[in-house]
Amino acid sequence: MYWINLLWCFLIVSFLGWLFSCFYHFIGEGKFYSKGFLTLPFCSTYGAGALICYLIFQPLTDNIFIIFIGSALLLSFFMVISGLIGEKILSCKPWDYSSMRFNIGSFITLPYALLLGVGGVCSVRVIIPAILLFVGMIPEFLSIIISLSIAVLILIDFALSLVTVFRLKKRVNTLINNTKLLSDNIKEEELVELEENYNKIFADSILRKRLVTAFPELKHTAYIKQLKAKLNKLKEENKKQFTAVYENKEDKPFASGLCFSKLFILFVIGSFVGTCIETVYALVTEGHFEFRVGVVYGPFIPVYGGGAVLLTIVLYKMYKLSDTLVFIIGGLLGAFFEYICSWGQETFLGTVSWDYSDYPLNIGGRTCLLFACFWGFLGLIWIRYLYPMASRLIEKIPKKQGSVILLVVFILAIYDGFMTVAAIYRWNQRIEKVPASNVFEEYLDERFDDQRMKLLFPHMRDSESLEELETNSGNAGNAK
């Protein structure tokens, strides 16, 4: 009955999604019609999305913020993949957000991603539990017969719609290919006849009429090509930051191209932004202000800075790839980098700053699918929007002043890193009751005593204590 109950959840949420879609378009366009691929009143993307969120985030029911962020990321990725598949089948976009700002491949945009996050929370905490409670009251035999019958009807509907689309595309392509053979001196009567024949293709069956009503772009392929051209033009403007060439060395601005100077500045900026993100994260999830840093001096978390540098180096030459590939590569890179940083800290310093053992689909508690998706979207937004803007701002810095500032900041960063490692190492020694053996260690004990270290790194644990917490309570420390 478990799988039958999940099937019921898929069917009911798909129907509710269809209703929502119909009313949404009724409010926006003033007419009520089905906007889905199926003839039956079901939108399978809603049902599948809700089920994915429930299966992944059901163990984290009490953490609304994680469910919200995770649902927004996962469902946005699901929408992009579904949109790409739909575009491949229909030869036009099933939905299009290219006219809105902060869109990703025109299949998703930031406001809608946030709405998906809210929908994921509602699905996990309210909708699906209510559905499971309802279907539990249906007699088992009757529940199996009804749910499987509806599922079979949906599969038949999907197959018929798929065949209709393929046959429609074949007839359209045949007609278009024939028109290409016509000469430039074609008569007006012949053009009128071609137009009439073209329109008849979309109106000679009920299924085709419904598909054209749901996806009017099927009749306007020229419009879709024009739209793609505009999007490509906008992307070309951003690509100038990746392809700029200067004939003379004197013409090059400060930190031009992909050089150490620019990467180091990006590292500093990313480290600072990481502190801001983690501080806000602590305020939202834990309900109190907690200034999170990764070094003993300054508001910086080097993991974020290193992630920004890694994403820039790897994705710099991949800007021509599709948004989906950039997302996947960014997610894999971020998860790998996060894992290596956690392993390196535990191996060389004997401490751990974050642990994802309680999150689904984690790898050794060092990284997990949720944060891999976060890194993927961060990489996509970084290489498409943030890096070009940051690169332009950095290159506006005067050369002489920029070189001096860069040298000073680099020296301070090296010092900060050294002192951080030394303070953490000495902190571990104090825990093990090892007395100071020289003046420098005495200075560390006085300047970075246990109270200050706990204030700077409230979630840092030594690896043995972390293992003990996992064994005894099953609940390890949380974010970076």
More confident residue, 249 or 42: 42
Whole-angstrom distance, CA of residue 257 vs CA of residue 269 = 17
pLDDT at 201: 67
More confident residue, 423 or 246: 423
pLDDT digits (tens, 9 = 90+) for 74-92: 888 888 888 888 878 777 6
pLDDT at 36: 76
How confident is the model over 40-51, as a mean pLDDT? Answer: 88
pLDDT at 454: 86
Lowest mean pLDDT among 1-10, 15-24, 188-197, 332-341: 188-197
pLDDT at 475: 34
Q: How confident is the model at residue 231 (pLDDT cuts 50, 70, 90)?
A: very low
Q: Is the model's pLDDT at 239 over the cut of 70?
A: no
How confident is the model over 413-431, as a mean pLDDT? Answer: 91
Q: How confident is the model at residue 415 (pLDDT cuts 50, 70, 90)?
A: very high
Contact 69, 114 (CB under 8 A): no
Q: Quote the tokens at residue 269.
A: 């900026």
pLDDT at 388: 84
pLDDT digits (tens, 9 = 90+) for 293-319: 889 999 999 988 998 898 888 887 776
Q: Is the model's pLDDT at 44 over the cut of 60?
A: yes
Lowest mean pLDDT among 34-38, 52-56, 435-439, 453-457: 34-38
Whole-angstrom distance, CA of residue 39 vs CA of residue 202 = 16
pLDDT at 477: 35
Percent pLDDT > 70 in the chain is: 79
pLDDT at 78: 85
More confident residue, 458 or 475: 458
Compute the mean pLDDT over every residue in the chain, rounded to the nearest whole number.
Answer: 79
Q: How confident is the model at residue 194 (pLDDT cuts 50, 70, 90)?
A: low
pLDDT at 300: 92
Percent pLDDT > 90 in the chain is: 16
pLDDT at 407: 93
How confident is the model over 355-383, as a mean pLDDT? Answer: 87
pLDDT digits (tens, 9 = 90+) for 371-400: 898 888 888 888 888 888 888 889 889 988
What sign for the dihedral angle of Cα 44, 49, 55, 58? negative
Q: How far is CA 466 from CA 71, 352, 368, in A?
A: 29, 8, 18
Picking from 423, 408, 373, 465, the residue whose alpha carbon sits closest to that of residue 108 is: 373
Whole-angstrom distance, CA of residue 301 vs CA of residue 341 = 12
pLDDT digits (tens, 9 = 90+) for 269-282: 989 988 888 888 77
